[in-house]
């Protein structure tokens, strides 16, 4: 199903400067919205823009809507593929599905790319999406031209492991006691992104996110936080990689400096550059346009990389 984002009047490219053309193209980009059966599940996905394909993988709550604004900005130069992860939002929960191994999430992404015929792509994963991308890069590298890992939650390698573990357990327990998975998800999102960010979310997106709490805490969370690739595995990755972390998390006194530590660990293990993005852990929600423009040249370099043979 194709949805036109805004009506427009045809005109010649010579009628407007390049800057205006880019602005207009952002607002008239078509979005193909559909679902597809892959890997034993039905995945909702959105594909917008034209050019080299970039896949965005969401972390907690797994919704394609996290990337709408970023995708609209990049759609003038890239085909942007986003999807609701298995059993999240508009991707229905498979029958008798009662475990969420992280490698299965990576396999879902791999089969989505294969079924749509868009591989190899550049992929960007945020938070838990970066751990899924790690598995994808390790197990399906031929489907990728490059990978960008934004603040993977590799808590075990940081200096705050015990403190953060205790804080998360307290938040989840408090939320479950007060209002079940929805409240636990709200408290988690407020902790990881801030109250202002939570309140500013699109209401429909926020409602879907809260509705994913049962899957998040009942099936996904423990496995996602426990996932940690071995340094020797990462050292074997030949794929061009970039690791990213929010500039607001660089300061050791910041609440979520541990994300910066985890990012630095991964960058060192991959022998990859560490780049800073605007904001903190969820720049797609707080600094969508600056994030997109920060990524634009990085995506261009990765998309032009030769496909690595394995």
Nearest to 285 by CA among 22, 137, 69, 18: 69
Q: What is the mean pLDDT of residues 140-144?
A: 98
67 — pLDDT class (breaks 50, 70, 90): very high
309 — pLDDT class (breaks 50, 70, 90): low
pLDDT of residue 127: 98
Q: What is the mean pLDDT of residues 147-172?
A: 98
Greater confidence (174 vs 27) lies with 174
Q: Is the dihedral of CA 25, 5, 195, 158 positive or negative?
A: negative
Nearest to 294 by CA among 147, 74, 75, 129: 74
pLDDT of residue 272: 98
Cβ atoms within 10 Å of 300's Cβ, excluding its own: 14
The residue count of the chain comes to 310
d(CA 177, CA 184): 8
d(CA 63, CA 75): 19
Q: What CA–CA distances, in Å, run from 260 to 7, 151, 154, 276, 281?
A: 42, 7, 10, 9, 9
pLDDT of residue 310: 55
d(CA 162, CA 180): 25
Q: Report the mean per-residue pLDDT for the chain.
A: 92
Q: Which two tokens stand for residue 54?
A: 């970039």
d(CA 132, CA 153): 11
pLDDT of residue 26: 44
Q: What is the mean pLDDT of residues 44-62?
A: 98
| Residues sharing a CB contact under 8 Å with residue 104, sequence separation 6 or more, in sequence order | 39, 86
Distance from the first to the final alpha carbon of the chain: 36
Check pLDDT > 70 for residue 15: no
The reply to whether omega before 120 is within 30° of 0 (cis) is yes
Q: What is the mean pLDDT of residues 125-137?
A: 98
Three-state SS at 1: coil
Q: What is the mean pLDDT of residues 242-266?
A: 98
Q: What is the mean pLDDT of residues 177-205?
A: 98
308 — pLDDT class (breaks 50, 70, 90): confident
For the stretch 223-234, pLDDT in tens is 999 999 999 999
pLDDT of residue 118: 98
Share of the chain above pLDDT 90, in %: 88
Ordered strands of the 144-150 beta sheet: 2-4, 30-38, 41-49, 79-83, 53-57, 121-126, 144-150, 241-246, 274-277
pLDDT of residue 304: 95
Which of 7-21, 84-98, 108-122, 183-197 bottoms out in mean pLDDT, i.e. has the lowest? 7-21
Check pLDDT > 60 for residue 27: no
Which of 238-252, 272-286, 295-309 bottoms out in mean pLDDT, i.e. has the lowest? 295-309
Cβ atoms within 10 Å of 14's Cβ, excluding its own: 6
Q: Is the dihedral of CA 31, 33, 36, 38 positive or negative?
A: positive
Backbone angles phi, psi at 71, to 5 degrees: -65, -40
Three-state SS at 147: strand
CB 79 within 8 A of CB 52: yes
pLDDT of residue 10: 31
Check pLDDT > 60 for residue 45: yes
In degrees, to the nearest 5, what angle opens at C-alpha 48 toward C-alphas 46 and 50? 145
Greater confidence (95 vs 309) lies with 95
Q: What is the mean pLDDT of residues 158-186?
A: 98
pLDDT of residue 2: 34
In degrees, to the nearest 5, what angle opens at C-alpha 165 toward C-alphas 161 and 272? 45
């Amino acid at each position: 199903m194709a949805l036109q984002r805004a009506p427009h009047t045809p005109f010649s490219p010579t009628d407007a400067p390049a800057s205006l053309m880019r602005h207009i193209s952002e607002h008239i980009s078509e979005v193909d919205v559909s679902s597809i059966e892959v890997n034993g599940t039905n995945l909702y996905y959105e594909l917008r823009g034209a050019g080299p394909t970039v896949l965005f993988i969401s972390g907690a709550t797994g919704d394609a809507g996290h990337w709408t604004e970023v995708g609209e900005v990049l759609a003038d130069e890239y085909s942007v593929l986003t999807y609701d992860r298995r059993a999240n939002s508009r991707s229905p929960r498979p029958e008798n599905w009662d475990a969420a191994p992280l490698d299965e999430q990576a396999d879902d992404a791999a089969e989505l790319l294969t079924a749509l015929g868009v591989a190899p792509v550049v992929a960007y994963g945020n938070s838990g999406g970066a751990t899924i991308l790690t598995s994808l890069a390790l197990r399906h590298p031929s489907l990728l031209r490059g990978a960008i890992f934004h603040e993977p939650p590799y808590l075990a390698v940081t200096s705050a492991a015990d403190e953060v573990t205790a804080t998360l357990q307290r938040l989840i327990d408090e939320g479950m006691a007060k209002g079940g998975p929805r409240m636990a998800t709200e408290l988690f999102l407020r902790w990881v992104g801030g109250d202002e960010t939570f309140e500013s979310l699109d209401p429909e997106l926020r409602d879907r996110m809260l509705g994913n709490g049962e899957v998040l805490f009942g099936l996904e969370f423990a496995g996602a936080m426990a996932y940690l690739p071995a340094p020797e595995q990462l050292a074997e990755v030949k794929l061009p990689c970039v690791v990213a972390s929010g500039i607001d998390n660089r300061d050791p006194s910041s609440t979520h400096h541990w994300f910066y530590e985890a990012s630095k660990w991964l960058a060192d293990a991959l022998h990859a550059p560490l780049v800073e993005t605007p904001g903190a852990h969820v720049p797609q929600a707080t600094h969508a346009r600056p994030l997109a423009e920060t990524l634009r040249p990085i995506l261009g370099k990765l998309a032009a990389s030769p496909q690595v043979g394995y």
